Structure 1
Amino acid sequence: MSDITIMVPSDIVQALRLPPDTVQAELQQELALALYQRGILSSGKACDLAGLPRWEWEALLGDRKIRRHYEEDELEQDILYATSSQ
């Protein structure tokens, strides 16, 4: 699969209450948030799509009160990984 372009009609872009130079970044962040919240994208991939450093992505999730998708088995894998590299 390759990159895709999403067409947003100019009247909608003009109706957005955003500074014109931030529209693309804001829309990418909103898409990333929505896809992550629906479980369609992992946190890492959504972070990449949003174009944010990891700590900013995590802060954005917190600001929006979006629950992290982190299950107990993932925690166990992370702990195992962290302890095995010592």
Structure 2
Amino acid sequence: MNASVNLELPADLLSSARMTLEELRLELAVHLFEQKRLSLGKAAQLAGLAKWDFVPVLGAREISVFGDAEQALADEAMLAVMSK
């Protein structure tokens, strides 16, 4: 069962930030994905986008959907060990 949560914000918050509600959701989704708090699918859902529409947003901000450089090096090392 999917539950819904309502978040109350001060009325002037969005205007002070010069953002729409959709922009705020996108920023929150990007931040939570970058911090590895949400998966790609869940972050896209929060942003109100399909995964294939969310990926270019991340790319424009130079956020990899494949993890960080450290993880890539660890994966490469593991593959090298496994191939021996």
TM-score (structure 2 length as normaliser):
0.67
> 1:35 aligns to what?
32
1:14 deviates by: 1.9
Separation in 1, partners of 2:4, 2:66: 26
Separation in 2, partners of 1:62, 1:13: 25
TM-score (structure 1 length as normaliser):
0.65
Specify the code of the residue in structure 2 equivalent to 1:3.
Answer: S
- Write out the 4+ residue segments of structure 1 that deviate beyond 3 Å after TM superposition: 69-72
Note the residue ranges of structure 2 that are not aligned, 5 or more in a row. Answer: 76-84
Residues 34-77 of structure 1 show CA distances to partners (whole Å, capped at 9, x for unaligned) of: 111111111111111111122220100011111324464xxxxx
Specify the code of the residue in structure 1 equivalent to 2:4.
Answer: D
Separation in 1, partners of 2:61, 2:5: 26
> 1:57 aligns to what?
54
Note the residue ranges of structure 1 that are not aligned, 5 or more in a row. Answer: 73-86
RMSD of Structure 2 on Structure 1 (CA): 2.2
Q: State how 1:1-86 maps to structure 2 within 5 Å.
A: 2-18=3-19, 23-70=20-67, 72=75
Specify the code of the residue in structure 2 equivalent to 1:56.
Answer: D
Identical-residue share of aligned pairs (%): 34
Number of residue pairs the alignment of both structures matches: 69
Separation in 2, partners of 1:14, 1:30: 15
